[in-house]
Structure 1
């Protein structure tokens, strides 16, 4: 299937999930994440903030666990710059001011002044709608994460998270699509 079809199909599939199913799947993904990755060896973990109205995987269980158990780690969150298609990155603090952007996504208020350099990020948790057995993902189609990942260090660990298993193949991969290293579902960790 092509990306446009997959966006529609998996967007609709996510909307059929109950709040409890999203919460349970998100908790299962968080457990697998912490059981698999040596978090204590990483300095900074980039985590998106979930779009709850779209039943996106809730990343707050990951954020809060890092804050509570891995005090030496930094959590970094993105802020989209729609005019350029780029993202800025900020150190997460529990009491930081957040605001909704034009797409209804929570982001740090740019006045918080906690910018974080892309070069310091060790692992990126990537949002997606669908992914395939080759490690490619379908996002929302704006290219923010592909541009961001292209600027990361070559050894940054790229981890997608999904409430659904992979499809066989995305038919219209292009040269700008960045392949994931792993994708975590509620029942399995996929590795490439």
Structure 2
């Protein structure tokens, strides 16, 4: 299937999930994440803020666990720049002011002055709609994360999270697509 076909299919599949299913799957993904990765060895973890109306995997269980148990780790969250299709990155603080962007995504208020350098990020948790058994993901099609990952250090750990298992193959992978290192579903960690 093509990316466009997969976007439509998996958007519909996610919308069919109940809030309880999303919450349960998100908690299972968080448990697998913390059981697999040596968080204490990472300085900064980049995590997207979920679009709850689209039933994205809820990343707040991961964010809150890092805040409570790994005090020396930094959580970094993105802010989209629609005019350039790039992102800025900000250190997460529990009381930071958030605002909705034009797509209804929560992001840091840019006046918080807590920008974080991309080169300091050790692990990136990637949003996705679908992924394949070769470690490629289908996002929303705007290329924000592909541009961001191209700016990261070559050894940054790229971790997708998905409520669904992979498909066999995405038919229209191109040279801009960046392969993930891992993808976590509620029942398994996929590794490439």
Q: Which residue of 2 aligns with 1:109?
A: 109
Q: Which residue of 1 aligns with 2:21?
A: 21
**2-structure distance, mates of 1:136, 1:89:** 23
**1-structure distance, mates of 2:2, 2:84:** 26
Q: Which residue of 2 aligns with 1:100?
A: 100
**2-structure distance, mates of 1:117, 1:67:** 20
- Runs of 4+ more than 6 Å apart: none
**2-structure distance, mates of 1:144, 1:17:** 26
Q: Which residue of 1 aligns with 2:8?
A: 8
Q: CA deviation at 1:45?
A: 0.1
- Any unmatched runs of 5+ in structure 2? none
- For these two proteins, the number of residue pairs brought into alignment is 192
Q: CA deviation at 1:170?
A: 0.1
Q: Which residue of 2 aligns with 1:164?
A: 164
Q: Give TM-score, length-normalised by structure 1.
A: 1.00
Q: Which aligned pairs between 1:37-186 and structure 2 lie closer than 5 A?
A: 37-186=37-186
Q: CA deviation at 1:141?
A: 0.1
Q: CA deviation at 1:33?
A: 0.1
**2-structure distance, mates of 1:16, 1:8:** 13
**1-structure distance, mates of 2:124, 2:110:** 21
DSSP-derived class of the 1:148 partner: helix
DSSP-derived class of the 1:30 partner: helix
Q: Give TM-score, length-normalised by structure 2.
A: 1.00
**2-structure distance, mates of 1:159, 1:121:** 13
